[in-house]
């Protein structure tokens, strides 16, 4: 698991957003009025004009995180329904598959039993006395200053760790975070062998793939 700072610096260094995100764990303030207060005298100085700036906290950037692409109901289109099952086609739409290949490569590891995968993550974290957060990412327009995001960042509200720019919505990210860990490099949470609940597939085969789901 790399920390948030790794992904932030990756886009800065390569100039390419995808795996990297220069605004990872970062708050954008557009059209903000700024007042600087002297902590000793309480004297206030207002910066003239409207500015745009960004704010990030080291404690957030040092948290390890792991990212997956999530396949849920928004990615499926029902093509056939029977009494006890439905056939669904993976319907990513547009250039999503092409963008995913460009960002992450031609092959993907499919986790077939996500419930078991989550259980193993939880158990591994529990054995190491670590807290773990797992949920889908919420994509928002970072050009619009959000009071909710500002308060979530200030209070280290767990919701804040799952916001990303809407430009990345095609990634359909599901994120795992260890909020109690601070690391300057990578961090390993050993969940054991998962070959029994996963397999490798070419990403191109996602487009039009039929899944049979039992009711």
> Bridge-partner residues for 138, per DSSP?
163
* CA–CA distance, 7 with 134 (Å, rounded to integer): 18
> pLDDT digit string (tens) for 153-212?
999 999 999 999 999 999 999 999 999 999 999 999 999 999 999 999 999 888 778 888
Element (H, E) at 1: none
Of 144, 205, 206, 142, residue with least CA distance to 169: 142
Size (the chain), residues:
215
Token couple for 178: 């260890």
Residue 36 has pLDDT above 70, yes or no: yes
pLDDT in tens, 96-136: 888 999 999 999 999 989 999 999 999 999 999 999 999 99
Burial 170-186 (b: 16+ CB within 10 A, else e): bbbbbbbbbbebebeee
Cα gap 63→186, rounded to integer Å = 9
Structural tokens at position 182: 């601070």
- Of residues 113 and 52, the one with the higher pLDDT is 113
Q: What is the pLDDT of residue 96?
A: 87
* 124 against 95, higher pLDDT: 124
* Residue whose structure tokens are 């790399």: 2
Are 203 and 107 in contact by the 8 Å Cβ rule? The answer is yes
Say what the pTM is: 0.84
């Amino acid at each position: 698991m790399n920390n948030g700072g790794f992904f932030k610096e990756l886009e800065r260094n390569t100039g390419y957003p995808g795996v990297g995100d220069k605004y990872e764990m970062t708050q954008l303030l557009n059209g903000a009025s700024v007042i600087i207060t002297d902590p000793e005298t309480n004297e206030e100085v207002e910066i003239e004009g409207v500015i745009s700036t960004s704010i990030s906290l080291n404690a957030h950037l040092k948290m390890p995180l792991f990212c997956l692409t999530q396949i849920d109901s928004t990615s499926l289109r029902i093509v056939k329904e029977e009494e006890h099952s439905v056939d669904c086609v993976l319907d990513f739409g547009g250039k999503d598959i092409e963008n995913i290949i460009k960002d992450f490569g031609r092959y993907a590891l499919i986790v077939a039993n996500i419930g078991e995968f989550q259980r193993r993550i939880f158990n591994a974290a529990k054995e190491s006395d670590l807290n773990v957060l797992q949920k889908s990412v919420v994509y928002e327009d970072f050009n619009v200053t959000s009071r909710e995001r500002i308060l979530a960042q200030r209070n280290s509200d767990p919701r804040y760790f799952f916001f990303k720019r809407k430009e990345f919505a095609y990634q359909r990210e599901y994120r795992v975070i260890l909020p109690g860990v601070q690391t300057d490099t990578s961090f390993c949470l050993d969940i054991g062998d998962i070959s029994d609940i996963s397999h490798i597939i070419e990403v191109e085969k996602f487009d039009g793939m039929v899944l049979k789901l039992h009711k």
